[in-house]
Structure 1
Amino acid sequence: MDELKQQIKECIISSLELEDIKPENIVDSEPLFGTGLGLDSIDALELGVALKKKFGVKFNAENADTREHFASVDALAAYISSERAKAN
């Protein structure tokens, strides 16, 4: 799971062009939006596309759970892992 979290952090940084942030600066449990990393709704869209390309997972904007999936790196890793398990 640590490798997956590292890949997610790298995806966040590269897809959102966060040049001043390194993967080790992103705390797994910290919120990605608002007070944590400070991402906004446009960032969420871009990140969703990048995660779909990299990991093959889909996010449904109308699904209330999607907000929970994007809560933190931990939440994204749990979602991606569960989607991978369903696919296998």
Structure 2
Amino acid sequence: MQELTEELKRKLIDILNLSDLEPEDFDEQAQLVGGELGIDSIDVLEMVVMVEKDYGIIINNQEVGQKVFASLASLVEYIQENSQGTSS
């Protein structure tokens, strides 16, 4: 779980251009969308694409997306629960 968490921190910092944030400073419980990070709907689409491409998990409705992207911890949990062994 910790390995996946660290991997996702690096990926989110990269795809969301959070260059002023280091992985160790990423609060796993902090609100992702609409929180301090300034993640908007375009960023959510980028995260959905990353999850689908890298983990083979489809997030196909807004309600699920809101729960999944509530925090890094909820994203990690969702990937672990729905992964078919496609995680790196």
TM over 0.5: yes
- Quickly name the TM-score band, shorter chain normalised: 0.7 to 0.9
Structure-1 residue corresponding to 2:46: 46
Which whole-Å CA distance do the structure 2 matches of 1:68 and 1:76 have between them?
8
Q: Which residue of 2 aligns with 1:3?
A: 3
CA contact (8 A) 1:11 1:51 kept: no
TM-score normalized by the length of structure 2: 0.85
Q: Deviations over 1:16-72 (max 9, x none)?
A: 22211111121000001223322111100011111222222111134x122010000
User: What CA RMSD, in Å, does the superposition of the two structures yield over aligned residues?
Assistant: 1.5
The 5 Å alignment of 1:17-36 reads 17-36=17-36
| TM-score using structure 1 length | 0.85
- State how many pairs are aligned: 85
Q: Using the TM superposition, give the Cα deviation of residue 15 of structure 1 relative to its aligned residue in structure 2, in angstroms.
A: 1.2
Unaligned runs of 5+ in 2: none
Unpaired segments ≥5 residues, structure 1: none
Identity %: 35
